[in-house]
Amino acid sequence: MFGYIAIHKPELLVKDLDTYQAYYCGLCHALKERLGKRAQLTLSYDMTFLALLLTGLYEPRTRKSCRICLLHPARRHPTMENACLDYAADMNLLLSYYNLMDDWLDERKAKSRLLAVSLRPAVREIARRYPRQRQAVRRYLRSLRDCERKASGDLDYVAGLTGEMLGEIFVWKEDVWAPRLRRMGFFLGKFIYLMDAYEDLEGDRKKGLYNPWLPLSGREDFQETVEGVLNMMMGECSLAFEQLPILQNTAILRNVLYSGVWSRYEKIKENRKHV
């Protein structure tokens, strides 16, 4: 749905990169099991991160196998399978479905509606199993649409809508770890929304579309303000992560949190210099 929660390959060891790819392939396989090739079209790095995070925290029984896929038919690829990947696949489909329907309602994108309709049978079952998460996504989209219609200038509130939604997605189980996971997802969600808005700023300005950064974009210290806010969000997110008792795949998770999300930001900032 977002595409910002990704690794920074140059800083990962080969063994960690292979592990990450195995989880990515595992998520793809879990999506295929739910609804075939249509579901695989929604595959995201964001939910791969969530699967790794929850696997490290809950340490479920994990099976490693080797599979051939259509994209890489020449050789078998390592693939992970566990309950956390299954949950991540469900959340991947849930987020994708409502995002596609939002595209249809806002921009009348026929392709988005067609794919959303094809995902509906699986999403209905997911919504039945995870009503809290479903309600969070629906509430988020309604509230965000309302903010856009009113052209809200409350940067913190608007970003917090994404944070609240992602916080609920991060909480697989309402247990002792739920508060830390919810807090981690909350600040990561705010970071994602604000960075996405930052990336879209010039395009939204030209098209006359809503963007919460617009009122601040004329200030001389705008760039410093953006970086300060984003650093604050990721600082809180990373603090919540470090308070979780995770020992497995921590190099990959820290790569995403301390490098991956920022490598994307640096590319966005560089592109803005040439606008």
What pLDDT does residue 73 have?
A: 66
- Residue 91 CB contacts under 8 Å (≥ 6 apart), including other chains: 47, 50, 130, 133, 169
- Residue 40 CB contacts under 8 Å (≥ 6 apart), including other chains: 28, 31, 32
- Report the 3 state secondary structure along 59-89: CCCCEEEEECCCCCCCCCEEEEECHHHHHHH
What's the average model confidence in pLDDT over 250-264? 95
**CA angle 118-122-128, nearest 5°?**
140
With a cut of 90, say whether residue 22 has pLDDT above it: yes
Report pLDDT digits (tens) over 191-248. 999 999 999 999 999 999 899 999 999 999 999 999 999 999 999 999 999 999 999 9
Report pLDDT digits (tens) over 27-85. 999 998 888 887 788 888 999 999 999 999 999 999 998 887 766 666 788 999 999 99
What pLDDT does residue 275 have?
A: 60
What pLDDT does residue 107 have?
A: 65
Write down the pTM of the prediction: 0.93
State the Cα–Cα distance between residues 129 and 127, nearest whole angstrom.
5
**Number of residues that make up the chain:** 275
What pLDDT does residue 70 have?
A: 62
Quote the distance between the C-alpha of residue 148 and its chain's center. Answer: 21
Q: Which residues pair with 256 in a beta bridge?
A: none
What's the average model confidence in pLDDT over 160-173? 97
Burial (0-12, 13-18, 19+ Cβ within 10 Å), 60: middle
